[in-house]
Structure 1
Amino acid sequence: MQKLLSKMRQAINDFNLIEDGDKIAVGLSGGKDSLTLLHLLNLYKKFSPEKFDLIAITLNPGGVDNGPLHSLCKELDVPFYEIQTDIKEIVFDLKKEKNPCSLCAKLRRGILNNTAEELGCNKVALGHHKDDAIETLILSLSYEGRINCFSPKTFMDKNTITLIRPMVYISEGSIKNIAKKYNLPIIKNPCPADGKTKRQDVKELINELNERIPGFKRNIFGALNNPEQLFIWNKDLIK
């Protein structure tokens, strides 16, 4: 846990993710990533040079028993809010989406950000990690033809919320180890599309390439952090 705290503190410092007086809502899905993030931020809060408040928000898409999350937040002394939603019904029953991830994510982001704002938060912390960043970059290149990835910090124009991702320097493997070591109360993902997405395909491809090409994942992540050496074919500049 100490090693992960060190990496998280590095990301916080590099991108100025947390400031004095922040009230931060952790988007607590019940997966290993968000559970680890909650633990890390709660530990960081004890020695952080910045004084901030922490709460957790869980969106229930419908019919999920989040009792273990209530118990965990009570144990950690973190205020917990569970919001009942009809996301599952909208995405799968009404819209009948064949590729549901985009709409689902949009709905979840909107409800999470609005709820956080209503509860007096100015920041929302999400559990995206190093491997998520690599996968997002490869997905963007492969399916959109552009170099793009989420940012460690994003200010949302529609409200007063800033999204932060304090675990961007932490690998998924380290998170899995922590979740197992501390027996975190993981809630099974209720989404019918879980494990059947383009992201899952890309994750498997990246792992395969990482075995065939030494340092593949390390180099991709290094490129993401190396804007000075970005070279793309800008026709106006080249002419």
Structure 2
Amino acid sequence: MDAGFEAHLRAGDVTVDGDDAALLAAVDREGSLSAAADALDRSYSRAQKRVSALEEGLGALVERTRGGADGGGSRLTDAGRDLLARFARVRAAFADTAETDAAVLRGTVRDRDGELATVETAIGDVTALLFEDATDVQVAVRADAVTLHDATTAPDADASSARNRFAGTVAAVDRRESVALVEVTVGEEDGADGEEDGADAGATLPVLVTVDSLERLALEPGRGVVATFKATATRATPV
């Protein structure tokens, strides 16, 4: 799988990622938090703090026992196992969809900074990785590489690590069991915030989100959003 792929599960105010899932699975497998930290080559203190942070937002995930004939240990609660199962479903759904859904934009390179190229496309200037010497390229933007923000509270371009930022409008939503594929129209003359984005034709970006994010952002056709994606998660190739 592509190294840029990473699934997240938002539950309440907590975001659970692959490292968290690996830690909980190791606790279940190894029988204690210290053994889980050793198996993952992590410090016990950091593992303990992370489990505590998860439990503050999600409730008890690890049941701890002290002493006794078996010497004590830890195991996942039912809530902990349910969380792992939810994360596994989300990761599987992301993997299945992300491999096939992407926007491919034709464009012209107008500037280079090492391996980073600024490409003029139908949605405006896109910064992407380009390893070849080329002028006419196509830029692939994967569905799992795009993050959606509320148009009124989205971070400014200078305040975000994402080099690419576009106002747009939700065009369609395909809700599935754990994730949703959201189609966002960007780059038209009038974006979600009423500003010009530098192109008349525009294009549609497929965006993969969890059902939690879908509901939290109230994503539905006609809603204004801001789409961001990192240059390092975007690849340009010669055409």
Q: Which has the higher strand share?
A: 2
TM-score, normalized by length of structure 1?
0.23
Could you say which structure has the greater relative contact order, defined with CA pairs below 8 angstroms and 6 or more residues apart? 1
Which has the greater radius of gyration? Answer: 2
Q: Which has the higher helix share?
A: 1
